[in-house]
Structure 1
């Protein structure tokens, strides 16, 4: 939670600005007060996104979607102006940390708390689906644990159901957007870009219940491609889920959408939840108290954690340059995406941040600061001088074609993965030792698309810079725009990640002796296997 700074806005519409709750690569959320003194969370879009009519149209859809749903299980909309020079959406401020923040700060929940969570989520989804919507991004950071139960926030990528779409003339605008959900909590049909039904949200609910018991999604893998593959094909390990809830979670995680319970059926399976004066573990009360203290300090003019820039201004488009060099000092950035309204104020533990949280911070830092040209703790990588058009790739072939010239033996298609959408294309191919059955190589290709060549490359560069912050720079390769080494599973496994324009290749090789040299050879061949359309 931060002050807006002396040059920041004093009002947004009728609301007086008190501070900033969160800030991300697409906008920020302001803490404001209405004329009656009620606290309001105002989502404000970055100005250069406001100039994009497609993005503005999607924001109008978010406003319309948010207004459809009752505030009993969400954050009720108070006002909005999607046509303002800087579009904004004002919702009732909901006090409470996110499920993700609670688990990170205090550990997993007990069975009673998860039972209450499951019932609250089912009730929220019943209301969202009753309004003719599919949330599409149900994840721990979008679920708030409040004094009166569960609230589901962020309908930014929600879509109307098929019947509602026909009735309202929905154009499917989000299909061309590059934000389609969170891989660890997607449904199989969402991971494969198939048509969605409300059952997709029920699958996400099931993944969140496992996360509440274990600390992570049952499908989280070492990479996005691995995660998507597991969502579609793997049977999750539910051994940590208590017997009383395991069967329910298993039904929610059915690969076939028709086999999953509806929210109403889920409530019947869960049975009644005992009323309680205290809804959640004591850690939630502590986090709520810390949040109130921070708000009181901000409203009274006390010191904030850090000042932030004034209202965002447009950033001129430019071809992606080299990846960012390490900054002399870290730059404070919001903990997560802009829509984590209440969770942004939660107090974190004083110990070293967990690896998953560190990557979240790195990703948001890269997303915000790449756009503004400010350095963060990533690496300066080779190639792409300013003004040179980036290499551009339209697609990634499937494994039979893309692996022809990669010098590894033991090709086996059992874990092959190939997926394409309008905004991205993925391929993953593996090699196995015929004697031991162990994996000796895996190559992944990831193409960002859906924009112009520069826009696609900038998207890829942002994510790559964030990932590079956790790796070791790879210099003087002679190919690609930048590269870094990532830790392998063993001392004899090397993982090299290389970016060229809007394409990233990840080569993982188990090769005792000359592991890094072999990984370089594989990465170079893998990059050459994808035809560039320009650059």
Structure 2
């Protein structure tokens, strides 16, 4: 497993015929949520409607299994985001080829009656034979298809789902979408290929969404030969944008080439193949029965010095930039309950895969230490970012959105981490303290507010620190995972856009954030 998002994980697996496949699994605590299962069934149905020429073809799925899963053909190749981050922006001829491939992919997706809704650099793979558009996790059928299929929608009014920097204006405003929304996203992708970032990347999500709806992007870096096409794609009025078929006409024919992409893509592909070969040549095969629901996270423990590592540059909640496989130190053993070499209807787990982060959580969790009679932890203040962030192992500090405020009853600090190349926040940590003359009363007030907020999240069992915790989900999908932890009259909130093992990293950051604040009692 290369990593997992807040809602599931994707494993690199092998089918009975030996072909590599990517198997997406829903995390156990979401498997019991019928709303989430319905969303996953829709993803399976959407993925099966599209051919594998420009996407990752579905091989099998079982959305009704104890652990719902979807197996698709494993596609080798770095993402567009990883390519640009690793090797820099692309030349006009390469972007012309990219634009034609994306237009062809969208034509196929729209022909199936779907709208992708999350076309972004990390959902575009550069393969030896062209472009693949992946991750239909939030794809929706068109309005006509929805009525025909009885789809009443699974998102809530006012929620924005997708990637803000690459949304269309109508998506940013939560309006009804047409296939033209994907064309706007395509235009933003082409600008990113020339400049390294979205034309609408702001200093905050709200700023980005505002710019998507209202601002005119700077296209001076786009060569004249493609600027007019990009301008039409980025029209605020959906009716003014070209269709994918019209885009192909505007782009004209693409000259054939033995090498589709710059040499860096070939190097990344070769490294990926070498990692896979190295893994498969080791004595690591384990054959498993159909998967059981994934367990709740283990109690928090201190990581080894080299255990918490950043994943390959450019990896996101949708896909890794290239498959960077762990080197096993010893062969895994087969589960005792499974006879050796047993093959099932599903797959043989041999390695790891990608990331998934869609949907929302349910349930809540708070542990009422105050009601139990224990002395609550009491905090009088929270440190400023310059001091607090010294305790936290994250990179990319940026002070644009930092703030510290205090009065007689409350004190707050929020610190931001920022990736200037990607044009987005990568992490946020916030401390909130209720304070006054009665520590117990302050803790109870904090607990009451925390319980209300937690009702929109998913509980965390056996965290190992704090008085209660839950995984947040605000519907914007800005963060791969977001964790809130209460300790007495203090609440720490951690939001991460993290390419791998996000939940483990969020726990590590939350624990460090608690240690950064001196406790006065309890």
TM-score (norm: length of structure 1)? 0.62
Name the counterpart of 2:137. 156
Task: Tell me the SS of whatever aligns to 1:343.
Answer: coil
Q: Residues 451-473 of structure 1, C-alpha deviation per residue, up to 9 Å, x if partnerless?
A: 369799742699799899xxxxx
CA distance in 2, matches of 1:466, 1:61: 23
- Is residue 33 of structure 1 aligned with residue 14 of structure 2? yes
C-alpha distance in 2, partners of 1:51/1:359? 35
Match of 1:22 in 2: 3
**2:318 alignment counterpart:** 339
SS for the counterpart of 2:25 is: strand
CA shift, 1:389, in A, is 3.9
Unmatched segments (≥5 aa) in structure 2:
286-290, 327-393, 397-417, 435-441, 461-468, 495-522
| 1:325-474 superposed matches below 5 A | 329=305, 331-332=308-309, 334=311, 336-340=315-319, 343-345=322-324, 356=419, 382=433, 389=447, 391=449, 451=456, 458-459=471-472
Secondary structure of the structure 2 residue equivalent to 1:22: coil
Q: Find the aligned partners of 1:353 and 1:315 in 2 and give their Cα distance.
A: 28
Q: CA deviation at 1:232?
A: 0.4
Q: Paired residue for 1:129, among 94, 101, 110? A: 110
Q: Note the alpha carbon deviations across 1:4-54, whole angstroms, 9 max, x for none.
A: xxxxxxxxxxxxxxxx24322211111111111111111111111111111
Q: Quick check: 1:81 aligned with 2:62?
A: yes
Q: Give the secondary-structure state (helix, strand or coil) at the position aligned to 1:204.
A: helix
Q: How many residues align?
A: 377
Shift of 1:449: 10
C-alpha contact 1:333 1:361 (8 A) present in aligned 2? no
Supply the distance in 1 between the matched residues of 2:424 and 2:72 (Cα, whole angstroms): 25
Q: Compared with structure 1, are the counterparts of its residues 21 and 328 closer, same or farther at alpha carbon in structure 2 (3 Å cutoff)?
A: closer
1:289-308 matched pairs, under 5 angstroms: 289-301=270-282
Q: How much has 1:298 moved relative to structure 2?
A: 1.3
Residue number in structure 1 paired with 2:210? 229
The CA distance in 1 between the partners of 2:292 and 2:420, in whole Å, is: 27
Whether 2:196 is the aligned partner of 1:212: answer no
In structure 1, stretches of 5+ residues that fail to align are 1-19, 305-309, 317-323, 367-377, 395-447, 469-477, 485-535
1:271 alignment counterpart: 252
Cα gap change, 1:361 to 1:122, in 2 (>3 Å): closer
Contact 1:28/1:338 (8 A) holds in 2: no
Residue by residue over 1:206-253, the C-alpha shift from the partner in whole angstroms, topping out at 9 and shown as x without a partner, is 000000000000000000010000000000000000000000000000
Give the 3 Å change call, closer, same or farther, for CA 42–385 of structure 1 in structure 2: farther
- Cα deviation, residue 331, structure 1: 2.1
Task: Return closer, same or farther for 1:177/1:452 CA change in 2, 3 Å cut-off.
Answer: farther
Name 2:169's counterpart in structure 1: 188
What displacement does 1:337 show? 3.9
Q: Deviations over 1:397-453 (max 9, x none)?
A: xxxxxxxxxxxxxxxxxxxxxxxxxxxxxxxxxxxxxxxxxxxxxxxxxxx999369
Name the CA distance, whole Å, in 2 between partners of 1:228 and 1:91: 32
Q: Structure 2 vs 1, CA of residues 466 and 459 (structure 1 numbering), >3 Å: closer, same or farther?
A: closer
Normalized against structure 2, the TM-score is what? 0.64
1:251-310 deviation digits (Å, cap 9, x = unpaired): 000000000000000000000000011000000000000000111111122799xxxxx9
Name the CA distance, whole Å, in 1 between partners of 2:139 and 2:200: 22
Question: 2:311, 2:63 → 1: CA distance?
Answer: 24
Runs of 4+ deviating beyond 3 Å: 174-179, 310-316, 324-330, 332-338, 341-347, 352-355, 357-364, 378-390, 448-458, 460-468, 478-484
1:34-73, aligned counterparts within 5 Å?
34-73=15-54
- Rounded to whole Å, the distance in 2 between the matches of 1:260 and 1:33 is 42
By how many angstroms is 1:178 displaced?
6.3
Q: Which has the higher contact order (CA 8 A, sep 6+)?
A: 2
1:246 corresponding residue in structure 2: 227
2:236 equivalent to 1:282: no
